[in-house]
Amino acid sequence: MTDRRAEAVAALKDRLGHAFRDPSLLEIALTHASVGEGAERDPRGRPFVDNQRFEFLGDRVLGLLVADTLVRDFPDADEGEMSARLHGLVDKAACARVADAIGVGPAMRLSPGEAKQGGRRREGVLGDAMEALLAAVWLDGGIDAARAVFDRVWAAELTAAPRRTLTNPKSALQEWALKQGKPLPTYRVVERTGSDHAPTFTVETEVAGLAPMQGRGRSRQDAEKAAATALLTREGAL
């Protein structure tokens, strides 16, 4: 760990407000899959562990905490309204905003290539790491610790005006393009990086007459959705 990263990790722990009894959980949550690049063991001969499993758990932890908060804070809201609010608070963009606000990017372990490509600012990388951090806190201190961290770092998202979100941005972009009298959007894979077990796709989408936009994701489909969302956002359709 470099001094600069050590300082970033220390600052992150202060913002989380949780003192880890097992610091290795925090380190796992901050380790991107690109660090191993397919390796089964780290330089010390230990099994290599990245934050993907923690992300899986953290996604469920976040969903539970948001649902519990919404039920408490909006006693008169129906299921549809709460579902819409929940989606806007747990999607990757929200997780990335929270991660950026508390300084997750500088504290992460990334491969040199991923870091050079802007991984510390990339929405998918930050969002995944934020979910992994919630999982690490849950594993270290249980539900009460996870709720305390959530209440602290998600406070701005909880008080912000609800943002419009899309469940199917590709369909939304198609409908928008047709309304503009344009042909259907096209998609193409620009780049595929990472190992076979943890690839990252970069996809470009284009609507005739408009500058293309790119999106990244762990699957081609996720990258296409990210690109569609980016184009809709730029054109003011979101």
**pLDDT over 70 (residue 152):** yes
Q: Which CATH class is domain 3-159?
A: mainly alpha
3-159 and 169-234 agree in CATH topology: no
| Active site (annotated) includes residue 59 | yes
Instruction: Show the tokens assigned to 13.
Output: 């722990």
Instruction: Show the tokens assigned to 224.
Output: 């296409």
Across 77-92, average pLDDT: 81
Residue 83 to residue 89: CA distance in whole angstroms: 10
pLDDT at 26 (0 to 100): 97
Across 109-127, average pLDDT: 88
Give, in order, the Cα–Cα distances in Å from 132 to each of 52, 104, 146, 188: 7, 11, 11, 30
What is the percent of the chain where pLDDT is above 70? Answer: 91
Across 152-159, average pLDDT: 94
**pLDDT over 60 (residue 232):** yes
| Active site (annotated) includes residue 50 | no
Greatest pairwise CA separation for the chain in angstroms:
59
Q: What are the pLDDT digits (tens) for 85-107?
A: 887 888 888 899 999 999 999 99
Is the CB of residue 45 less than 8 Å from the CB of residue 180? no
pLDDT at 1 (0 to 100): 47
Catalytic residue, candidates 55, 59, 157, 224: 59
Residue 2 to residue 193: CA distance in whole angstroms: 25
Instruction: Show the tokens assigned to 134.
Output: 């919630």
Q: Which one is the CATH code of 169-234: 3.30.160.20, 3.90.280.10, 1.20.210.10, 3.30.460.10?
A: 3.30.160.20
Looking at the DSSP assignment, which residues form a beta bridge with residue 109? 31
Across 221-234, average pLDDT: 87
**pLDDT over 50 (residue 143):** yes
| Average pLDDT over all residues of the chain | 88
Domain range summary for the chain, segments of one domain joined by +? 3-159, 169-234
**pLDDT over 80 (residue 40):** no
The runs of H, that is alpha helices, within the chain are 3-16, 23-29, 52-73, 79-90, 92-101, 104-107, 112-116, 123-153, 155-159, 169-179, 220-234
Catalytic residue, candidates 131, 140, 157, 224: 131
Neighbour count for residue 9 (Cβ, 10 Å): 21
pLDDT at 128 (0 to 100): 92
- The full 3-state SS of 100-125, as one line of letters, equals HHCCHHHHCECCHHHHHCCHHHCHHH
Q: What are the pLDDT digits (tens) for 15-36?
A: 999 999 999 999 999 999 888 7
Closest among 131, 169, 178, 176 to 153, alpha carbons compared = 131
Closest among 193, 203, 238, 207 to 224, alpha carbons compared = 203
